[in-house]
Amino acid sequence: MSVAPASPEDPNAREGPARDFWQLATDLMFRERPPRMPAAVAEFDLSPMGLKMLIELEPGVEVPMRTLAECTGCDASSVTGIVDRMEARELIERRDRPGDRRVKLIALTAAGSRMREQVRERFSRPPEAVKRLPEEDLIVLRDLMRKAVDGG
């Protein structure tokens, strides 16, 4: 049985190329993760979730621990342990929420902000497979990705 090609007006017609792009992007990220993550964990002496937490926190922004658990995909008890270790290294600090001391807010310290920038710089270095592409292709890829991130 053959399936008729989708018409250009069909909203599902574009899913094939979109799915292909996303699979290739995912393949590249997963291929790069194994050599990068252990090196970063060793370099910064943080767990993978500690690195993720450091990246998720914005300098100058206090985040409830519950929100931090949600955005890192950890349960609250795991976040507490990670926060304990990072707080002992003076990378983050716990603060009481004004008017509700039961809620703990997490904020980067100056040292945490500096380390966050180092981590972000380390992970922003493109892999060799990307760097080998011609500059004009890289510009097109960058501009298309920016368009996708900005909502089209």
Q: Summarize pLDDT for 29-60 with one digit per residue, the tens.
A: 888 877 888 888 899 999 988 999 999 999 99
Averaged pLDDT, 136-146? 93
Residue 113's φ and ψ, nearest 5 degrees, are: -65, -40
Q: Is the pLDDT of residue 3 over 60?
A: no
Per-residue pLDDT, 17: 86
Taking every pair of Cα atoms in the chain, the longest distance, rounded to a whole number of angstroms, is 66
Average pLDDT value for the chain: 87
Q: Which residue has the higher pLDDT, 147 or 12?
A: 147
pLDDT in the model for residue 1: 40
Domains of the chain, earliest start first? 45-149 (1.10.10.10)
pTM of the model: 0.75
> For residue 119, is pLDDT > 70?
yes
Identify which of 6-10, 16-20, 53-57 has the greatest average pLDDT: 53-57
d(CA 60, CA 71): 18
Decide if 91 contacts 108 (C-beta within 8 A).
yes
pLDDT digits (tens, 9 = 90+) for 74-103: 888 888 999 999 999 999 999 988 888 888
Instruction: Extract long-range pairs of 25-33: CB within 8 Å, 24+ residues apart.
Output: 28/127, 28/129, 28/130, 31/127, 32/127
